[in-house]
Structures are given as structure tokens and as C-alpha cells.
Structure 1
Amino acid sequence: MSGYEQFRGKRLALVESMLHDAFYNGIHRARDFGCEVWLLVRGEEWYTGGRPLSGHPLGRVDRVVQVDTHDWRAVAGVLTDADGKPLVDGVLSFSDYHTEVTARVAESLGLPSQGLEAVRAANHKHLLREALGDDPANVRWRLVTRREELEAAVGHVGLPLIAKPPSEAISFGVRKCLTWDQVLDAWRELSAVRASLRGQPRPGHVLLEEYVRGTEVSVESMTAGGVTHFFGATSKELHKDTLLEEAHSFPVALDAGVWEEVRACVDRALRAVSYRQGPAHTEVMITEDGPRIVEVNPRLPAHMISTMVTDVCGTDPHLDAKLLAVGAEHVPHRGPGDGAVGGAAVVVLFPDEPGEFTGIDGTGDTAGTDSTGGEGPSPGVSVHLHHEPGDPVATRLDNSASVGFVYARAHSAKEALDEARRAAGRIRIHTRKEAP
């Protein structure tokens, strides 16, 4: 992991955080290399549920600053001295709801940036569709801003289609519609949402996109010095009704020609939005007619995907992204076929019933064995929970309903996924219905 010594003496401001250990651990690994980390939060309760932040992994940063993280001027204000000079070497966010604010702050302070317009286009999905234009990886789409536009939009996009909020995350509000009545229901539901999950105002617009059939993967990449470096593709196992991501494995064993097509279309998409630097988690549908861009996310992926990349490729995307943010000259190294070792997988744990999380059974036997007898990583399984007893858990409507992950390493991605599924099949999640 050469190059990470460049962290020493640098100061990085992180605007909010995604949840789960991979993001917390990424902060502390940078601190271990000598980086001073400030965490900017609007409110601690988002992370602690009312518990003290001092007992939370995020409480172990060098400095916690409470500020309105929805207001870029307020964020810039706490990161500058009396003369308006930046107090930090970089500012970064992996929270979908704060990457745009962060890019605006970085550009206003003259700090390294992914590019404000690039982040805007990625976060507001209709702007990405506009930027892709007639690229063959684009799909038919329409942004519906009022009810009177709905029939014409459906006529253009066709059925079946996907309806979604144009500016949301964690698969919130994504609806597959097979009929006109389902489209109308989705419009009524989604157009009534006038705030994001983090409280930012929303106009109630609804994005309709062509439903394309194929195999969906995500592509993990890091752009540095105008060049995008690809770590590989991650499988996406989706629930048939909710379309939620239920399992992943890395790296997907794609035919060389298909992988080149996928890489090329992602590279074109990032260039179309003028993505300057940093991580991207791009969702792609591989169809009979070639790859199609689903979404571009200007951040590191969730669901322990970055952990899989680290374990398999030997580079740490959390550290790579933070180094670029503080202005270091850094080129991420290795990828599948170039020093990659084995495979990894994760299965997402969802409760069967919503309510109060009371506990989990079946995690005692998580150690795998090397069934091949060959050299390389032996299968190993671990369980990672991000809920504690007493926490409320939701119905499986978006990714916030998960209570944890089963993670596995093995000789191949397929073997790791089999191990993770076997372990997940032994787990039982217990909830207690909350009082009405």
C-alpha cells in the first residue's frame, strides 16, 4: 500500500458519513497514517440514535464540528480562518446527500474536487441522462414535473418502466411498473415526497426510465489525474419485487470482450459529466445489445463492496479517495487479473418483520474451511451488524432496513458467495412489534 505515507501532516474534513463499519474504519486507517480528520455533522443522533457520540466509532476522530451540512456557506465558514484561507487540505463526503455541498465547498476554497457539475449530474439522475445524450449506453427517459406530463412520458419510455425520485439514494422510492395503473400509483406516491431522507427540500418530480433486461453489475473505479482506474465489477443480486440489493460478489468473471465494453461505457459516462477525480460506483445493466448505464454514484460503494476491493485487489479505496482529496499525487494500483487474489462476497441481512430489533441467532459457526486444498485465501465468514438490540428496524422498502452483513472470502467470487449464503441461511433475526 505504498503512497499512503503522504497522509502525514494532512488535514481532511469529512462532511457527514455513510453508515456501517467500512466507512468508520476507513477514517481510522487514514488517521493511522498520520492524517488529521475533522468530521462535520448536522446532528449526532443520525448516527447514534440518541446515544453519546463519544461511544461511537465516529466519535474517535480528531475533531467533531456541528454545522448545517445542508448549507455550503456554513460548511465553508467552519473550514476557513479569519482571512478566508482554508484550515484543511481537503474536504470530502461519501454521503449522497452531501457530495454536492462538499464539491461546492471544495471549489470555493480552491481545494481538490470531483467537480461540482459532475457531482450534480450524478446526484440528479435526469442530469446524467441529459449528459449521456445519444450514447448507446443511455436509456429512454423522461422527467415528469406535473401530472399532465405523465401520459406522454409513459408513451415515450414505454412499459414496463422504472419510476424513481431523480435525487435520492439507498434505492429509496424505486418502483418497477408493469401497467399504467402502477405508474399512476408510483406518481402519486413519489410526487408527494417533498423532502429527502436527510431533510433537504425536493420538488416532487419523478423520473421515468426504460426498464432494461439483463445482468446488473456495479463497476468500482477511481479517477486520478484525468485517468479512470478500474478495480473490477461487482455482482448485484436483487430482490424480485423490491429491487433491493440482497447480495454481492467481487470480482465478476466477465468475458474479456464484455468487460472491455462495460469499462468503456463507464469511462464515457464519467467523461460526459467531466468527472475530475475520486471514487465512482457505477451501476450497469449488461444486455444483449450492450451495456446500459443505470446510475453513477460519485462516492465509494456501501454494503462492504470497498472491503471486497481491498481484500481482493490489495489497494484500499477509502485511503485512495482520501489521498486524492488532500491533493496527493496518487495512482491506485492493481485490479482483477493484475495481482488480484481470490474473491469475496457479502449477503445483506434483512429482518422478516419490522419493529424493535431484539437479537440474532446462528452466527456462532461462521468460520469457513479451505475445501480445495490449494494455495490462496481460505474461505472465511464473518458477520457484521450495524444495529443494536432496541433499535427500530423497518419494512424492506429500501436499504436502510438491513441489520447487517455476512461477509466471506474464498478462492473465487462464486465460492465466496456460496459460503456467505450458507452462513446467512443459518441466521435468524428477531424483532418485536412496537406498540402502536
Structure 2
Amino acid sequence: MSAADTSAYGGFAGKRLALVESMLHAAFYDGIQAARAHGAEIWLLLQGEDWYTGGRPFREHPLSDVDRVLHVDTHDWRAIAAALSDGSGAPLVDGVMSFSDYHTEATARAAEHLGLPSQGLDAVRAANHKHLLRAALDGDPANLRWRLVTAESELEEALVHVGLPCIAKPPSEAISYGVRKCATAAEAAAAWHELSAVRKSLRGQPRPGHVLFEEYASGFEVSVESMTAGGSTHFFGATSKDLHRTTLLEEGHSFPLALDGDTWDEVRGCVERALKAIGYRQGPAHTEVMVTADGPRIVEVNPRLPAHMISTMVSDVCGTDPHLDAKLLALGGTPEPGLPGSGPAGGAAVHVLFPEEPGEFTAVSGVPEAEALGARVHLHAEPGDRVATRLDNSASVGFVYAHGADAAAALATVRAAAARIRIDTRKEGRR
């Protein structure tokens, strides 16, 4: 690590940072250790451990390697605040943050209660509850037609307003869980009945059964990676999004995506307006945008770092560490984010590995052949795990990653490498 890197993150020394839950995968675990290497003391707040371990001992999991683990009700901001304060209500930590979609709102509220740096409670709430984002973007050309349907009797009018085809989704979920494309009114009705019956989030939080219907935007989807600090937003760049041929799950990404100047200005502009519309104070954002023939449309704003090794691509290309930047902001510091070309430069890509069939993960083959092409293979599942039990982004079992002369070269490498890999599963009940 260079002296410049050490100086940029000197603000971690002697600070105590609380993390409320975590996203899965190594980039988030490595981010914790990077902050500790710069002198931060990390407290981890968990409601339970099985979400991460699948029943294995927590001491074997990378998340256990922190300075302190606190078991609290992480859905309750009061419990978070109580765990992080002394008897007089004074905070015991210098910052608190979360990268988990299901916990960013409670974390922001606890931070504001404790007088600690915050992304902004209203901003996080609007990002997490997608109908509130739509309402905040009212009148913006990058918004989509939408209706929040709270009863079946509202569905017909909603479809008249948004049109067909349309998208149906739970208004407060993550990892693409429950997202449905509906080509007909019958399909929309089926989506309503299915999704309105879901009364708990994937992490167990109560839900009222409302369903968000949105206009279907045709084009190509990108994500925009940014960091807001000091009242302004720094844009690292745009990330491509390749979808699986049958499941339509995110199968590949490359960074930075080479958009022409006018398109990039339009995309960046609509993201900046969206962040301002919800009052986003500070922190990372992973904003999904559909680029259509009529201009960009905001799909979602995520007030956190992205998954699927996208933050690793940003780090390799831009010469900064978004995980450290975000944590430094949560401690009241000021990061120095990089730009494409200011660091190692070039481009990077990741291919997401999915099994062909759900079941018990039994074996993986082709890894040496894939890595011989210049890629790195990262598996976050192992033999014996039950995999692909839901049709969302949790179905992945690993990533193939590469850095190249540019994003296109890196993407070609990971695609060729992924073609060498086979993930074997066994259906339950078969031996």
C-alpha cells in the first residue's frame, strides 16, 4: 500500500465503527478487514447468524473476525441505538452504517438519534420503499408511470395508467426478489395474487402485501456507481448489466461502460437529480437506470455499495476503495474518491456463476482451466450447500473476475473463463 493510500485513510485510526448486518460475499468481508488494518475498531450487530452461515459454526465465517459481535434486534432502531450507547444515551461508537438493504433505514434512524453521521433517514426510506422514490421523482422526465396497488379493486385502474407490458414488484424488497414482467392483464392479476400474499420480507420484517406496478421501459440497463460527500456527488462511472438468457437475473457486469458523452451526461444527470430529490446526504449509491430511446429512466436507487464484485471493479479501475470511502464517511471523515484513469485504469468485468438446476451443490469443475485464461474464480458456496432455492440474485454460487486493457477485453476474458466451469447439483431426495 502506498503512502498516499495510508494518508487518505488515516482517519480510521482510533475510531470505532459499528456495522449493522452485512451483505454477503467476500468484498464486504474484505472491506471490514481493510478498515481494521487502518486502525478502526469494528463492532458487528447481528440478529442471527444462520443467514450467513447456513448452520455452520459462526467462528468459521469471515464475519466473525471483528472486534466485537453484538446480538440485537437489528430491525429495531431503538435496539441498535441502545446497544451502541451508554447509560446516559451517549454513543459508544464514532459511526454506524449498514450495507444491508433491510437494515439501512433502521441504521440511519439510530445514527440520527445518536447524533452520528447519517445518509439521511428520509432519503434511505425513499430509496428502500420504491413507491416513495417514485413519488419523490414526480414530474421528473426520468421517472416511470406507477401505481401502488393496496387492494385488488385498484388493479384495473393501475394497469390503465401504467400500461402493458408492465413490471410488478414488492415495493420494499431487494436482490430482485419478486420482480415480475407482466405482458397481459391476466399475468398482472396473477402477480398481484402472488406478491400480495407475501407478508414478510426475506429477512422477516412485516409487509402489508402492497404491490408496485410500473411502466415497462424498453432499452438497456446500466448501474451508476457514485459517492456523495460534502453536498456533492462524485460519479465513478457506469456499469454494464448482462442478463441470463432464461432467468433474466444479472449474469455479468463490466466497468467502466463506454457510453457516448451525451448519453453519459443524461444518465449522470438523472441520477444526480434522483439523489437530490430524496435528500441523500452522504454515502455510496448504486443506481439502476434504463437507457431508452426517449432518454434514461430511473429503475431503483440503492443507498449502499453494490454486490457482484462491482465495488472491486471500481477499486481496480479508479484506484480508490469504495468500501473504505463509505466507512470513512460514516465516521465523519472525507474520502478522496478516484476517477477512471486515475488508478490502475483499464477495465474490469465479472461473470456470475449460477447452477443449471437447484438442489445440493455437489461439485465444481473447470476452475484451473478458467484461471489459466487470466481470470480469478471466487466461490461463495461449497459442496453440501443448498443452492438456487429462489429465483433471485441469491441463486449465484460464485464469480469469475478479470481486469483487462479495457472493459470489453475483461468481459471477453470472464465469459471465456466461465464457459470452462461446471457447477453440479443434485436434486433433493436423489442420491
Q: Do Structure 1 and Structure 2 share a fold, with TM-score over 0.5?
A: yes
Counting aligned pairs with the same residue, the percent is 72
- The 3-state SS of whatever aligns with 2:368 is coil
Which amino acid is 1:365 matched to? E
Question: 2:100 maps to which residue?
Answer: 95
Which amino acid is 1:306 matched to? S
How far apart are the structure 1 equivalents of 2:334 and 2:84?
Answer: 23
How far apart are the structure 2 equivalents of 1:246 and 1:271?
Answer: 30
2:299 to 294, 302, 322: 294
- The 3-state SS of whatever aligns with 2:411 is helix
Question: 2:420 maps to which residue?
Answer: 426
Q: Does 1:397 align with 2:391?
A: yes
List per-residue Cα deviations over 1:17-47 (Å, max 9, x = no partner): 0000000000000000000000000011111
The question of whether the paired residues in 2 share the 8 Å contact of 1:11 and 1:35 is answered with yes
Which amino acid is 1:57 matched to? P
1:407 to 401, 415, 418: 401
Which amino acid is 2:404 matched to? A
Q: Does 1:271 align with 2:276?
A: yes
Question: 2:31 maps to which residue?
Answer: 26
Following superposition, the deviation at residue 5 of structure 1 comes to 1.2
Question: 1:224 maps to which residue?
Answer: 229
- TM-score, normalization: structure 1? 0.96
Which amino acid is 1:27 matched to? I
2:339 to 335, 342, 347: 335
State how many pairs are aligned.
Answer: 425
- The 3-state SS of whatever aligns with 1:166 is coil
How far apart are the structure 2 equivalents of 1:182 and 1:396?
Answer: 20
How far apart are the structure 2 equivalents of 1:112 and 1:279?
Answer: 14
Q: Specify whether residues 239 and 366 from structure 1 end up closer, same or farther in structure 2 by C-alpha distance, changes over 3 A only.
A: closer
Structure 1: where are the runs of 5+ without partners?
Answer: 370-379
2:247 to 242, 247, 261: 242
Matches for 1:144-159 after TM superposition, within 5 Å: 144-159=149-164
1:138 to 139, 143, 166: 143
Following superposition, the deviation at residue 331 of structure 1 comes to 3.3
Following superposition, the deviation at residue 241 of structure 1 comes to 4.5
How far apart are the structure 2 equivalents of 1:262 and 1:406?
Answer: 28
How far apart are the structure 2 equivalents of 1:368 and 1:128?
Answer: 45
The question of whether the paired residues in 2 share the 8 Å contact of 1:236 and 1:249 is answered with yes
How far apart are the structure 1 equivalents of 2:119 and 2:387?
Answer: 34
Which amino acid is 1:343 matched to? G
Q: In angstroms, what is the RMSD of aligned CA positions?
A: 1.2
The question of whether the paired residues in 1 share the 8 Å contact of 2:318 and 2:341 is answered with no
How far apart are the structure 1 equivalents of 2:288 and 2:220?
Answer: 11
Structure 2: where are the runs of 5+ without partners?
Answer: none
Q: Does 1:57 align with 2:62?
A: yes
How far apart are the structure 1 equivalents of 2:171 and 2:124?
Answer: 14
Following superposition, the deviation at residue 242 of structure 1 comes to 3.3
Which amino acid is 1:364 matched to? P
- TM-score, normalization: structure 2? 0.97
How far apart are the structure 2 equivalents of 1:241 and 1:428?
Answer: 18
Question: 1:353 maps to which residue?
Answer: 357
How far apart are the structure 2 equivalents of 1:172 and 1:396?
Answer: 8
How far apart are the structure 2 equivalents of 1:215 and 1:49?
Answer: 36
- The 3-state SS of whatever aligns with 2:133 is helix
Which amino acid is 1:352 matched to? E
The question of whether the paired residues in 2 share the 8 Å contact of 1:69 and 1:75 is answered with yes
1:116 to 121, 129, 146: 121
The question of whether the paired residues in 2 share the 8 Å contact of 1:359 and 1:429 is answered with yes
How far apart are the structure 1 equivalents of 2:138 and 2:231?
Answer: 22
Q: Does 1:160 align with 2:160?
A: no
How far apart are the structure 2 equivalents of 1:78 and 1:320?
Answer: 25
How far apart are the structure 1 equivalents of 2:136 and 2:344?
Answer: 34
Which amino acid is 2:364 matched to? I
Q: Does 1:435 align with 2:416?
A: no
Question: 1:11 maps to which residue?
Answer: 16
Question: 2:48 maps to which residue?
Answer: 43
